[in-house]
Amino acid sequence: QKEVEQDPGPLSVPEGAIVSLNCTYSNSAFQYFMWYRQYSRKGPELLMYTYSSGNKEDGRFTAQVDKSSKYISLFIRDSQPSDSATYLCAMRTGGFKTIFGAGTRLFVKA
Amino acid sequence: EAGVTQFPSHSVIEKGQTVTLRCDPISGHDNLYWYRRVMGKEIKFLLHFVKESKQDESGMPNNRFLAERTGGTYSTLKVQPAELEDSGVYFCASSQGETVPSGNTIYFGEGSWLTVV
């Protein structure tokens, strides 16, 4: 069983839609939860991180962590074509080794 | 400020040959990481340097892979001899502190795309 499960998609939505991206995990020791965005042929770029459970909002992006369910989410409001990318969830325990999900490919159609 | 730079961006080599990938971290970043993504798989951790010392190399797949970071600046990752299953993209990343959420962000390079034929 993978430590982090993420549906690879692809997910296609119309411009302006609310996008919901999710990951589940099995290691209860994870404390830090990140979302990265990766454009084609580029490196991952950190979008948001959350420590422990709860919500965090940054502009059109909201990250949610539910440690009791081992489930994390990223919501994108008013999605734009420029949001089209691969979104990777990632997690860490107290250390520095980051465990990535497979990534979900998102297409936002104009 | 320059980001994490990697060289070469693309490399095609024959099975059995040697390839050396180079990474220049962001200036002043003590922490340097190597990750790789092989086809259809997740990005996976290979190793972590703090300055010139290997902090964790538990993700290195086998002894055909050798990473160095001379003087705590740039790093190289050598694959010798290369096998077909080594094909993928090798990402280097760097950060100032060690842990999140100390204000530390891990910055990734654009990757070195390796194809072994």
Nearest chain A residue (CA) to B31:
A96
Q: How far apart are CA B107 and CA A58, in angstroms?
A: 19
**How does pLDDT run across A51-61, given as a tens digit for each residue?**
878 899 999 99
Mean pLDDT of the residues in chain B: 92
In this complex, do A92 and B100 lie within 8 Å of one another by their Cβ atoms? Answer: yes
A-B interface: how many C-beta pairs under 8 angstroms? 61
DSSP 8-state secondary structure symbol assigned to residue B67: E
Contacts of B55 in chain A (CB under 8 A): 96
Contacts of B48 in chain A (CB under 8 A): 96-97
Min Cα–Cα distance to chain A from B45, Å: 7
Nearest chain A residue (CA) to B58:
A97
More confident residue, B2 or A36: A36
| Angle at the Cα of A46 from the Cα atoms of B105 and B61, rounded to 5 degrees | 80
Min Cα–Cα distance to chain A from B109, Å: 5
Min Cα–Cα distance to chain B from A11, Å: 17
In this complex, do B110 and A43 lie within 8 Å of one another by their Cβ atoms? Answer: yes
- In this prediction, residue A15 carries a pLDDT of 98
Mean pLDDT score, A23-48:
93
Read out DSSP for A10-78? -EEEETT--EEEEEEE--TT--EEEEEEE-TTS--EEEEEEESSEEEEETTEEEEEETTTTEEEEEESS
Amino acid at the residue A98: T
- In this prediction, residue A95 carries a pLDDT of 75
**Is the pLDDT reported for residue B100 higher than 60?**
no
Amino acid at the residue A19: V
**How does pLDDT run across B25-79, given as a tens digit for each residue?**
999 999 999 999 998 899 999 999 999 999 999 999 999 999 999 888 999 999 9
Q: Which of B31, B33, B110 sits opposite A42 (nearest CB)?
A: B110
Contacts of B32 (CB under 8 A, 6+ apart): B23, B25, B48, B49, B69, B75, B92, B93, B94
Structure tokens that stand for B5 in this block: 């730079």
Contact A17, A83 (CB under 8 A): no
What region, left, alpha or beta, does residue A89 occupy, with left being phi > 0 and alpha being psi -120 to 50 degrees? Answer: beta
DSSP 8-state secondary structure symbol assigned to residue B4: -
Contacts of A46 in chain B (CB under 8 A): 105-107
